[in-house]
Amino acid sequence: MALSDAIQNEIKKYSKRVECTVARIATLELSDEDREVYLKTLNNKNAKDPDFLSTEKLSQVMRDEGYEGVSPSSINRHRNQLCTCYRKTVSS
């Protein structure tokens, strides 16, 4: 197999990786505008950043707005890159 094909194949696999619950909600359920703010907040781990929102608060806001599954532990896993978003191969 040519190198370019091998690389393209890996990229394709990576693009099909499974998103974790908290990331999937952004993809499936949020408008473009909401998605941008949500993902920015979700991926912001810097507690000194003025836009930082704690894991618990973000989870609370999402629950208040009617989105299920955004638990503090899921947010933590995502923020620490331990979730399925950061696994580079498909686990099927």
User: DSSP label at 81?
Assistant: T
Indicate the residue among 4 and 91 with the shorter CB distance to Zn ion: 91
Indicate the residue among 8 and 43 with the shorter CB distance to Zn ion: 43
Part in contact with Zn ion (CB under 5 A); list of ranges 5-13, 29-37, 49-57, 81-89: 81-89
Which of the residues 7 through 46 are near Zn ion (CB under 5 A)?
A: 20, 23
Indicate the residue among 70 and 78 with the shorter CB distance to Zn ion: 78
Q: Are 88 and 9 in contact (CB under 8 A)?
A: no
Q: Please, what is the end-to-end C-alpha distance for the chain in angstroms?
A: 23
Backbone angle region of 66, left / alpha / beta, with phi > 0 → left and psi within -120 to 50 → alpha: left
The binding site for Zn ion (CB under 5 A) comprises 20, 23, 78, 83, 85
